[in-house]
Amino acid sequence: MLKRIYDWCIDAAHKPYALWIMGVVSFAESSFFPVPPDVMLIPMSLARPQRAWLYATVCTATSVLGGMLGYAIGALLYDSLGHWLIQLYGLGDQVDGFRAKYAEWGAVIILLKGLTPIPYKLVTITSGFAGYNPLLFVLFSVIARGGRFFIVAILLNRYGDWIRVRIEKHLGLVVAIGAAALVLGFVIAIKLI
């Protein structure tokens, strides 16, 4: 099954709709979807290394746009449902402290977590909830997400053939490591947020 999905992504790199699908996955991952765009970015960049820069650009732009939706979700849920829940549990005093810390450390959080396997949707929603400056949020998102996707593009553009051989030889292990990194990212993010 993994081989079929991988082969589909490799083949899809040559189809006109692949870029759109990857963009939708990248957008959705930044706000609510659990699967990172790497599942398409990596195989498509391996299939067409000369287009890795385009793929990284699309992932960056759509990830930031999806992050803006995640920010809105965090801001709107707090105003409607979140505030009521916080008062219900008697945590109203802690919200101001959390927001103050996020205002002080938000840039570091956005930049570091945007580069790691920690699910970015948690950063975007938390930024909205904490009321982090939206313009700075977008700026740091562009830097972090662009950095992440362009690092992948550089590596796959330069070492794509070597990486492709190893991925295809050890596909199950690569997917298991990726899944473990994703789960570990969720666990770390939940403990840090």
158, 174, 176, 91: which is closest to 129 by C-alpha? 91
- Average pLDDT on 62-86 reads 82
Domain spans of the chain? 2-192
- 97 near 61, Cβ under 8 Å? no
What pLDDT, in 10s, does the model give residues 111-129?
888 877 677 887 888 889 8
When comparing pLDDT for 87 and 111, which is higher?
Answer: 111
Residue-level pLDDT at 20:
92
pLDDT at residue 90 in the model: 61
pTM of the model: 0.78
What pLDDT digit, counting tens, does each position of 137-151 carry? 999 999 999 999 999
Percent of the chain with pLDDT over 70: 71
**Residue 89: pLDDT above 60?**
no
Q: Which letter, b or e, does each residue of 156-170 get, where b requires 16 or more Cβ atoms within 10 Å of its Cβ?
A: bbeebeebbeebeee
Nearest alpha-carbon partner for 51 in 22, 10, 13:
13
How many Å is the Cα radius of gyration of the chain?
A: 18
